[in-house]
Structure 1
């Protein structure tokens, strides 16, 4: 089936052709007709399946039918809420590319940079607004944004949005829009809290499931290394020297961990960039630009910073720290093997991460192959270090505070 068979209008078909798209993906085939029919939609689709076009194309078509600006300028008719700045920018670029032959105006707003340029664009009037929850709420409270004319609301990457603690903001945003609106909810995974939210805000939605979680990683080779925590950097260096080549995305759980690994790799002569929440938006965009252009081949990131990054040519993902949420593993390795290409995922598991591997394998419904012949094997009997019990052994050391003092201190937590 072609895009023409989906009853898309000529300006959109022209833009699709210019983008080099030949045939619609599974999520596009299923979603576009439902959105054009003005149905609410809840869709489970991994990043990299073409889901942005699945909602962007029909939204552009629905809004292009009524492009005459009312007196007082354009009003926001479609609102797309995205959890991260990178994803919001990516969605904005897609809307501009697909809508280049329409008169619809799109803009993106997000935190981490000055409000003024965003406010200036909004003042001129826009049809389609892509926003992160924080900046959207800030500008709405200042009466800079009015959502009274919103006809279509999209909640993208809903699972990440809820993981990041945006549930109350999302509900508030839904209530700021008119009661009669079309809602499209997209989520890579469908945990209970996403289902709960969908049941609260959607009206008789059409359900679309494109890729089951277990098959999401079918184009990606996976290897597991059991390694003592203190030897992870040495193992990483060993693999970079001998096995892992090309463009590599490395995940660490914390910002501190990202910075520490960056320092080690630079010291060993590697070209590295990093992105995490403490970096300015300018720094994050510059790091991503260098990585995409190939001027650096290693990018180290935390999960939140990396979600929504659109990198077409990624050879490998390294899970330096394993995620404690199994679905996060799917998102991480899904950065490679996109759009039918192949990729590799290397995971380092310390003694304290063995439970994470168990839940990840249960979700994937496979056993990840273990590589045992490497220089830093983990003792099979190694136990996770219990830092709490380690601290309490020193309770009565000379110079420590009294029990009463410690008890009083606990009241501050």
Structure 2
């Protein structure tokens, strides 16, 4: 807040659940109210352009909705009006249908790009541009749109404008964007970046691909997830790599009596919002999803994160773990590790991270690192403990009657 009030550009890296939306809305709203209404020149165009005083750009419809709700909360009973544009409907129909003047615009990057194309928006009076989740946009292939938005904004009254970029990770592309478009900016990190806190217990468990489903059910059974009376205290996120596996696990767990919901990129915004609502309320304390889909929504700190599919790089691993752990409560992260996937790049960095976080390093990982350093051939299936499931499946391998001590 002091940086925003000082009218400095800002590049901030912050983990989930830190109140970033409020910390930007409050000082921006303060300056809008302090400066009073802006006298705009009357427009004689058939389709006049809009001139917002502040613009929030987010990565997804869910984020746009969340920011809009926060803006509405803080601008209640004031003269400041907010307007939201999302990608579910035609952008210009929404935009032209809003006849009243507004001060704060909240939109997705793709929609904002269209507004620039249609010459429907002007930056003449805009003094604040906030880009939320810029790392998600870059990973989602929106680099061109983001650069265009920043370029159009920074060229208009550079001495009076303020640009604020928010990210949860620290890729090199973001550093380039900051140096290219920010002027005299403050570089701020809140907590650890790309390194899990010490209040997250990390368990790397060797599980063969054919035993993953059985092992997942055994973990949920041991945690007592079927008892949804304590759902909000047992929130569990399951990260899966492929959309088809998300659907398959959703069906499997529902058939076995677990209150579960799921989310991925092919679901509609209504379906995604309903899934998030069911999860956050505790009605469905288990959510299965792809990393990209889960990153597009704001979730509370959960009790347990399960990496059903191990990510290929350490950055994605760190992002998954960022959803659990709290200063007042220890979180748990369980990762299913199998050498069927090419994880040779991840393993050394993962071992270093476990050591840095003072976590137990499994023997299977240490052996892989040692064999790699000595240029020895990595053991194959049948010779490695990685392919041996810690729990022997029973029956058809889909449902277990035994429990595990992995989360004890």
TM (norm. structure 2) is 0.77
2:134 pairs with one of 136, 153, 158:
158
Which residue number corresponds to residue 342 of structure 1? Answer: 330
Which residue number corresponds to residue 278 of structure 1? Answer: 266
Shift of 1:125: 2.5
Bigger Cα displacement from structure 2, 103-112 vs 277-286 = 103-112
1:59 pairs with one of 28, 31, 34:
28
Which residue number corresponds to residue 400 of structure 1? Answer: none
Within a 5 Å distance, the mapping from 1:12-411 to structure 2 comes to 32-68=1-37, 70=39, 75-115=51-91, 118-119=94-95, 122-177=98-153, 178-180=156-158, 181-213=161-193, 216-243=196-223, 245=225, 246-312=234-300, 314-338=302-326, 340-351=328-339, 352=341, 354-355=343-344, 356-363=346-353, 365-366=356-357, 368-369=359-360, 381=384
Structure 2 gap ranges (5+)? 44-49, 226-233, 364-380, 388-408
Secondary structure of the structure 1 residue equivalent to 2:238? strand
Shift of 1:82: 1.4
CA distance in 1, matches of 2:318, 2:97: 37
Secondary structure of the structure 2 residue equivalent to 1:90? helix
CA distance in 1, matches of 2:224, 2:383: 25
Secondary structure of the structure 2 residue equivalent to 1:43? strand
- Taking a change above 3 Å as real, the CA distance of residues 206 and 233 of structure 1, as seen in their structure-2 partners, is same
1:278-300 residue CA offsets vs partner (Å, 9 max, x unmatched): 11111111111122222212111
CA distance in 2, matches of 1:147, 1:321: 44
Question: What is the RMSD of the two structures over their aligned residues, measured on CA atoms?
Answer: 2.7
1:294-319 residue CA offsets vs partner (Å, 9 max, x unmatched): 22121111112111533336221111
Secondary structure of the structure 2 residue equivalent to 1:213? coil
Which residue number corresponds to residue 402 of structure 2? Answer: none
CA distance in 1, matches of 2:25, 2:343: 41
CA distance in 2, matches of 1:227, 1:322: 11
- Taking a change above 3 Å as real, the CA distance of residues 299 and 259 of structure 1, as seen in their structure-2 partners, is same
Kindly indicate whether the alpha-carbon contact (under 8 Å) linking 1:41 and 1:206 is maintained by their aligned counterparts in 2. yes
Kindly indicate whether the alpha-carbon contact (under 8 Å) linking 1:154 and 1:184 is maintained by their aligned counterparts in 2. yes
CA distance in 1, matches of 2:245, 2:113: 31
CA distance in 1, matches of 2:82, 2:91: 17
Which residue number corresponds to residue 397 of structure 2? Answer: none
Shift of 1:320: 0.9
Shift of 1:66: 3.2
User: Which one has a larger percent helix, Structure 1 or Structure 2?
Assistant: 1
- Taking a change above 3 Å as real, the CA distance of residues 322 and 156 of structure 1, as seen in their structure-2 partners, is same
Shift of 1:126: 2.0
CA distance in 2, matches of 1:59, 1:334: 28
CA distance in 1, matches of 2:384, 2:76: 61
- Taking a change above 3 Å as real, the CA distance of residues 214 and 361 of structure 1, as seen in their structure-2 partners, is farther
TM (norm. structure 1) is 0.76
Kindly indicate whether the alpha-carbon contact (under 8 Å) linking 2:12 and 2:165 is maintained by their aligned counterparts in 1. yes
Shift of 1:51: 1.9
1:109-135 residue CA offsets vs partner (Å, 9 max, x unmatched): 221345477325644222111221112
